[in-house]
Amino acid sequence: GAVVSQHPSRVICKSGTSVKIECRSLDFQATTMFWYRQFPKQSLMLMATSNEGSKATYEQGVEKDKFLINHASLTLSTLTVASAHPEDSSFYICSALLAGQETQYFGPGTRLLVL
Amino acid sequence: GENVEQHPSTLSVQEGDSAVIKCTYSDSASNYFPWYKQELGKGPQLIIDIRSNVGEKKDQRIAVTLNKTAKHFSLHITETQPEDSAVYFCAASSSSGYALNFGKGTSLLVTP
């Protein structure tokens, strides 16, 4: 149980395009999901906390107009990288929180490459 | 967020030996401490966690110890196998909601 999926697993796009990444909790409901960014050989950097039915809470330094988060249901959160640029290339990982618990279950990640 | 320090950054052991990774945290309100294993190109996988009301927890070859007074916790892997090779992250719960503060990771290499 507690499986989290992400789609797509890998995306290559041209500079200036927008990219949407989906995060789904497959076998449980997640009122809270988190979005992380990870550069090569570095730790996970929390970008934002996504709560179902409300606006996401962004960490300091993360542009909310560039990284648009929508948590429309208890099993789906999306991250849209608006007008992506090469510096946005990274590994984006989501996690989902089991309701009433502290345990975060992570998705497999999405590799974004902006040319 | 609050700091979580993790050591060592790299660790190489021979198959069958034990591996120990140590973390310290600064937020006295932290009460949940998970450990994650991340293989190359994949998302982190929870391997064990411990809460502040427990000093030690064991699951087969993996154990975690917690010293709340000293604010440090450790991961112990016994009888290591090549498939244990990965990057391991410790984390501590944040005082603000359910967010986690992660250590910088330990790259563990188990050589046959």
Query: In the prediction, which pLDDT does B94 show?
Result: 85
Supply the mean pLDDT for chain A: 93
What's the N-to-C CA distance of chain A in angstroms? Answer: 37
Task: Quote the DSSP letter at residue B79.
Answer: S
Query: In the prediction, which pLDDT does A72 show?
Result: 83
Q: pLDDT tens across A54-96, in order?
A: 889 999 999 999 999 998 889 999 999 999 999 999 999 999 9
Instruction: Using the CB atoms, write b or e for B49-77: b if 16+ within 10 Å.
Output: bbeeeeeeeeeeebbbbbebeebbbbbbb
Query: In the prediction, which pLDDT does A99 show?
Result: 76
Task: Quote the DSSP letter at residue A109.
Answer: -
Q: Is residue B1 pLDDT above 60, yes or no? A: no
Beta strands (DSSP E) in chain A are 4-7, 10-13, 19-25, 32-38, 44-51, 57-58, 67-73, 76-81, 90-97, 104-106, 110-114
Structural Rg of chain A based on CA atoms: 13
Query: In the prediction, which pLDDT does A93 show?
Result: 97
Query: In the prediction, which pLDDT does A31 show?
Result: 85
**Interface test mutation site (partner B, options A4, A35, A43, A103, max chain B beta carbons within 10 A):** A43
Whether residues A43 and B41 touch (CB distance < 8 A) is answered with no
Q: Residue A44: pLDDT band by 50, 70, 90 thresholds?
A: very high
Which residue would you say has higher pLDDT here, B29 or B24? B24
Q: Is residue A1 pLDDT above 80, yes or no? A: no
Query: In the prediction, which pLDDT does B2 show?
Result: 66
Q: Scanning every residue of chain B, which has its alpha carbon at the shortest distance from the alpha carbon of A101?
A: B98
Query: For chain B, what is the total number of helices (H) and then of strands (E)?
Result: 0, 11
Which residue would you say has higher pLDDT here, B1 or B45? B45
Q: Is residue A18 pLDDT above 90, yes or no? A: yes
Q: Exposed/middle/buried for B16, CB within 10 Å: 0-12, 13-18, 19+?
A: exposed
Residues of A whose CB is below 8 A from B97: 32, 49
Query: In the prediction, which pLDDT does A114 show?
Result: 97
Query: In the prediction, which pLDDT does B45 show?
Result: 96
Q: Which residues contact A4 (CB under 8 A, 6 or more apart)?
A: A23, A24, A25, A26, A94, A95, A96, A105, A106, A107, A108, B43
Q: pLDDT tens across B33-71, in order?
A: 999 999 999 999 999 999 988 899 999 999 999 999 999
Q: Is residue B77 pLDDT above 90, yes or no? A: yes
Whether residues B43 and A111 touch (CB distance < 8 A) is answered with no
Query: How far B22 CA lies from chain A's nearest CA (Å)?
Result: 16
Query: In the prediction, which pLDDT does A101 show?
Result: 83
